């Protein structure tokens, strides 16, 4: 009997999982990192201008690189990898430009990357001549697959490459004593390297460099290709920290990639495992699926009350500059930075956000449903938080009208009005703007198309009773109304009941001003029961009594009590 193709675990063709094998997990039974929490920001190093640049279809030109460099400084990076000057003339020229034109702040170290080859190291130091503070980042690949399939070299031969490079770096630095040098070493493809061998190579390099507590060396442990789950990377970082020589004289650095979509998670767990430093790019640009996204990682800390030591308060500017320099458009759902990440279309989400924001006091700790941070912290406005489409509900519609037009609809009016916006959204088959919602609101409750209009009124008071005489316009005819009651509304509804013979009862009412000045209009909301059926109305006027009377007539118009000349019920 043939297998049901729908139940097959493999699809015909080249999509065949059987040609892969799981990466071996790291056997570590004494792990401590799961009990740790991140309490402070690491040393950040931006690699946008090197790792991010070499990943572009069209690498940045000198003007773009300078714009991005200035942005990185403005955001607050103190370590910036500015290029691979031995690999290309544009990178070399850019390094010279920012040094010779004194564009590097005194508290910022520029970093350059070089392979462990004498001529490349020499060229890198030539590019750095005259720099006040610089990091020379030396690397060579140590992984099993690189040793066996790319280089065809033994462990000892690969280690010798690293040691020779360390010697050349030290010698070149001694020839330029006026620069404050920091050395960094990466066993490239660290996550594909046997851990004891990775430590052996790093120890051999630091034997040459002889770091001290006052002058530490950076040991960068890159997830050059993300091969497994982030917890394994954390195990590796913790194991290296426990077994590497001169740990107190080292800064353990992370450089994660995002092949499995876990670049940020791996870096976070790596910091929990004891790392001191993290390399990445703004918005995660980098080879293949990218580097660690520094904005996401730093803002994750910020959302937990930790100072990220980087300033992302002008997020729109950051996005604009990065986009102009890389020609990469940011996804609208990109964490923290995307256009829609703080936007709710769902009705239940909108209602929860609206209620939380209404209850929140200015100095309260941030605790708002569905919003992990305050959008205003990133320069985003609250007008962007709730947007309306066919998935939205009454709470979102109410929020938009209040934010943009000052209308504070009571719940019963929200229920009544939401179906009108829902109908419009379904017709549009997309988002409904605030302006469109306001137009529908006015047409439904306030506009001149209402069947019954108030022409004028007079109100007098005698013996604690109010006498109201009003004139209404119905089908271009004037209709007089007179009533007596406890207050203008009571008198008006009483007179209306006598005039039309219907049973009119006020079931709910509220009012407020639409602004903060004495000249601001008043708006009144009313719900009437007319012969047992409920109808909502809204009135607006500079006079609160007139606004209330107009709200009553709005509800009557919506009840379709269009009777000329409003004869009494028989």
Please provide the distance, in angstroms rounded to a whole number, between the alpha carbons at the two ends of the chain: 82
Residue with tokens 């995660």: 284
Smallest Cα–Cα separation from 264: which of 238, 234, 293, 228?
A: 293
* H or E element at residue 81: strand 79-83
- Is 478 within any annotated ligand binding site? no
Smallest Cα–Cα separation from 44: which of 95, 99, 81?
A: 81
DSSP class of residue 1 equals -
Integer angstrom CA distances of residue 353 from 256, 357, 367, 387, 492: 35, 6, 10, 12, 39
* H or E element at residue 271: helix 263-272
Smallest Cα–Cα separation from 319: which of 301, 304, 307, 336?
A: 336
- Is 291 within any annotated ligand binding site? yes
Token output for 93: 């020229």
Smallest Cα–Cα separation from 86: which of 191, 158, 168?
A: 168
- Is 51 within any annotated ligand binding site? yes
Q: DSSP of 154-170, one letter per residue?
A: -HHHHHHHHHHHHHHHH
DSSP class of residue 563 equals -
Cα Rg of the chain, angstroms? 35
> Where are the alpha helices (H) located in 429-530, listed in sequence order?
434-441, 488-500
Q: Is 220 left (phi over 0), alpha (psi -120 to 50) or beta?
A: beta
C-alpha 326/C-alpha 52 separation (Å) is 9
DSSP class of residue 334 equals S
The answer to whether 356 and 368 have CB atoms below 8 angstroms apart is yes
> Where are the alpha helices (H) located in 5-113, listed in sequence order?
51-54, 62-75, 89-100
C-alpha 353/C-alpha 63 separation (Å) is 43
Residues whose CB is less than 8 angstroms from the CB of residue 518 and which lie 6 or more positions away in sequence, other chains included: none
- Is 512 within any annotated ligand binding site? no
Binding residues for Mg(2+): 51, 255, 257, 291
Binding residues: 51, 255, 257, 291
């Amino acid at each position: 009997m043939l297998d049901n193709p729908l139940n097959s675990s493999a699809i015909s063709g080249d999509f065949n999982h059987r040609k892969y094998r799981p990466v071996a997990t790291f056997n570590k039974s004494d792990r401590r990192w799961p009990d740790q929490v991140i309490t402070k920001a690491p040393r950040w190093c931006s690699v946008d201008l090197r790792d991010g640049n070499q990943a572009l279809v069209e690498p940045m030109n000198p003007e773009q690189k300078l714009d991005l460099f200035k942005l990185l400084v403005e955001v607050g990076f103190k370590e910036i990898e500015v290029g691979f000057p031995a690999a290309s003339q544009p990178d070399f020229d850019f390094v010279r430009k920012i040094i010779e034109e004194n564009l590097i702040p005194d508290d910022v170290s520029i970093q350059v990357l070089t392979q462990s080859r004498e001529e490349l190291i020499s060229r890198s130091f030539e590019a750095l001549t005259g720099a006040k503070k610089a990091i020379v980042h030396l690397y060579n690949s140590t992984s099993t697959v690189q040793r066996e399939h790319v280089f065809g070299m033994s462990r000892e031969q690969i280690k010798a490459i690293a040691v020779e490079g360390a010697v050349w770096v030290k010698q070149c630095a001694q020839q330029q004593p006026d620069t404050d040098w920091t050395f960094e070493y990466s066993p490239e493809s660290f996550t594909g390297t046997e851990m004891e061998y990775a430590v052996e190579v790093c120890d051999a390099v630091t034997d040459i460099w002889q770091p001290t507590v006052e002058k530490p060396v950076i040991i960068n442990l890159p997830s050059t290709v993300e091969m497994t789950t982030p917890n394994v990377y954390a195990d590796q970082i913790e194991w290296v920290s426990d077994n590497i020589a001169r740990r107190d004289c080292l800064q353990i650095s992370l450089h994660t990639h995002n092949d499995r979509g876990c670049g940020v998670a791996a870096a976070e767990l790596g910091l929990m495992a004891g790392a001191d430093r993290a390399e990445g790019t703004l918005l995660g640009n980098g080879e293949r699926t990218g580097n660690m996204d520094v904005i996401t990682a730093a803002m994750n800390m910020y959302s937990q009350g930790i100072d990220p030591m980087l300033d992302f308060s002008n997020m729109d500017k950051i996005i604009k500059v990065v986009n102009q320099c890389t020609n990469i458009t940011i996804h609208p759902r990109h964490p923290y930075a995307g256009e829609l990440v703080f936007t709710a279309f769902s009705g239940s989400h909108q209602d929860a956000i609206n209620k939380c924001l209404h209850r929140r006091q200015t100095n309260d700790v941030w605790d708002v449903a569905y919003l992990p941070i305050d959008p205003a912290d990133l320069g985003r406005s609250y007008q962007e938080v709730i947007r309306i489409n066919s998935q939205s509900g009454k709470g979102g519609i109410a929020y938009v009208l209040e934010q943009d037009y000052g209308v504070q609809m009571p719940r019963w009016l929200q229920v009544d009005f939401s179906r009108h916006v829902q109908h419009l959204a379904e017709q549009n088959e997309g988002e409904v703007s605030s302006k469109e919602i306001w137009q529908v609101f006015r047409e439904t409750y306030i506009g001149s198309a209402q069947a019954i209009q108030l022409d004028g009124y007079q109100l007098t008071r005698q013996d604690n009773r109010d006498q109201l005489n009003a004139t209404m316009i119905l089908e271009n005819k004037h209709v007089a109304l007179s009533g007596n009651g406890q207050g203008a509304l009571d008198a008006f509804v009483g007179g209306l009941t006598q005039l039309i013979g219907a049973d009119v009862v006020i079931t709910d009412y509220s009012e407020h001003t639409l602004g903060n000045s004495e000249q601001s209009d008043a708006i009144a909301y009313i719900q009437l029961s007319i012969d047992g059926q409920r109808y909502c109305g809204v009135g607006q006027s500079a006079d609160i009594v007139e606004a209330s009377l107009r709200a009553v007539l709005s509800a009557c118009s919506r009840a379709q009590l269009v009777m000329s000349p409003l004869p009494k019920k028989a």
